[in-house]
Structures are given as structure tokens and as C-alpha cells.
Amino acid sequence: GENVEQHPSTLSVQEGDSAVIKCTYSDSASNYFPWYKQELGKRPQLIIDIRSNVGEKKDQRIAVTLNKTAKHFSLHITETQPEDSAVYFCAASRRGYQKVTFGIGTKLQVIP
């Protein structure tokens, strides 16, 4: 089955700096890679996703990049703000497959 590794497990950055979270996956057939943000005590929310037919996708201060050859994808947050502090989960899945595989999560702390 699919295996998704995520790192780092914790990340502290100064407000205004950039943050990068990286994930690798094992199943070369995976073609959908969502990212979820979970604030303390709340539900995870989908913040951005990318499909295997594109290499990069941006939405304001967040972007995701995908390298299919190396089987890794990354979340980039620029100009970080205190409200970006949360746990971020990457995931991988593929067409026709019932389950999504999540990474272990990265706890991001933005220091004012």
C-alpha cells in the first residue's frame, strides 16, 4: 500500500519568514495530493491540493510543488503570520482507490 512520510514533525519560524513542509510517497500511481490545516482543537480543513498533471499550484501565500520523478511534494507558506500556526497534514491518493494515506503531520509555530 501507499506510504507517506512527512517532515519535519515540528517547525518554528519567525513571523514574516517562509515555511516549507516536505512529503514523500511510495506509490507511483498516486495522482492526487491534498494538504490539510488543523488548528488546535478544530477539524482539519483542505487548504490546497495538486494533481499529478501539474507541477505547481499557488493560492495567495501558499503553494504546493510536485516532483513525480522523485515522488515528493512540498507545501510552501510565504510571509508567515501567527494565524498560520497549526498542524499541517499532507496526503496522497489515486483514482479508483478507496483510501487516502496521510502523513504524520507537521506542527508549525509562527513566532510573532
Binding site for another protein (CB under 8 A): 31-32, 34, 36, 42-46, 49, 51, 89, 93-100, 102-105
C-alpha cell recorded at residue 15: 513571523
The residue among 58 and 79 lying less far from another protein, judged by its C-beta, is 58
Rounded Cα gap, residues 57 and 70, in angstroms: 18
The residue among 15 and 56 lying less far from another protein, judged by its C-beta, is 56
The residue among 45 and 67 lying less far from another protein, judged by its C-beta, is 45
What DSSP string describes 10-54? EEEEETTS-EEEEEEES-TT--EEEEEEE-TTS--EEEEEEETT-
- Shortest approach of another protein to residue 53 CB, angstroms? 11
- Shortest approach of another protein to residue 77 CB, angstroms? 19
5 has which bridge partners?
Answer: 24
The residue among 3 and 16 lying less far from another protein, judged by its C-beta, is 3
Q: Which of 46, 19, 2 is nearest to 111 (CA)?
A: 19
- Shortest approach of another protein to residue 99 CB, angstroms? 6
